[in-house]
């Protein structure tokens, strides 16, 4: 798990990854649930993943958008129009505001968001990160030659 996380950090260095700050709490809450309630993940693995997440945010490889940067009234409007939760609409609002691509595995959010912003799945994101990483390595090798 830690090895995969370190590879992800290296791949992520070539792109801007941005999320809402609440998503970081939600991710760690999910790790807690998997380790404590469902027991499908060891506490050590959950901590390793949390450590990688810490490294990603500390190195600004994942930038967290604070809720104060998101137009709350605009988000309520999007939630109502698209019939998604405020939480999901916050991702759409943030994506629109920074003119980014939204990566999600949530099918309802994917369908709603794709009407107004570029939306990709996590496997597509991983593919993009791999391409960026390979291009960076290739450029470095060409520069050395």
In the prediction, which pLDDT does 1 show? 45
Instruction: Measure Cα distances from 59 to 5, 16, 56, 87 in Å.
Output: 14, 12, 5, 26
| Every domain of the chain and the residues it spans | 2-144
- Give the list of residues 6+ apart from residue 49 with CB closer than 8 angstroms, or none: 1, 5, 31
Per-residue pLDDT reduced to its tens digit, 83-131: 999 999 999 999 999 999 999 999 999 999 999 999 999 889 888 877 8
pTM for the full predicted model: 0.71
Per-residue pLDDT reduced to its tens digit, 39-60: 999 999 999 999 988 988 888 8
CATH topology classification for 2-144: Rossmann fold (3.40.50)
């Amino acid at each position: 798990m830690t090895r995969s996380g370190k590879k992800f950090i290296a791949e992520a260095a070539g792109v801007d990854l941005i999320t809402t700050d609440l998503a970081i709490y939600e991710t760690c809450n999910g790790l807690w649930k998997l380790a404590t309630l469902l027991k499908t993940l060891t506490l050590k693995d959950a901590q390793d993943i949390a450590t990688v997440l810490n490294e990603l945010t500390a190195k600004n490889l994942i930038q967290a958008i604070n809720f104060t940067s998101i137009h709350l009234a605009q988000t309520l409007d999007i939630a109502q129009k698209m019939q998604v939760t405020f939480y999901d609409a916050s991702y759409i609002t943030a994506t629109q505001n920074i003119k980014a691509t939204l990566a999600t595995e949530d099918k309802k959010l994917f369908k709603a968001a794709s009407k107004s912003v570029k939306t990709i799945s996590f496997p597509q994101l991983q593919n993009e990160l791999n391409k960026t990483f390979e291009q960076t390595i290739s450029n470095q090798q060409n520069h050395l030659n």
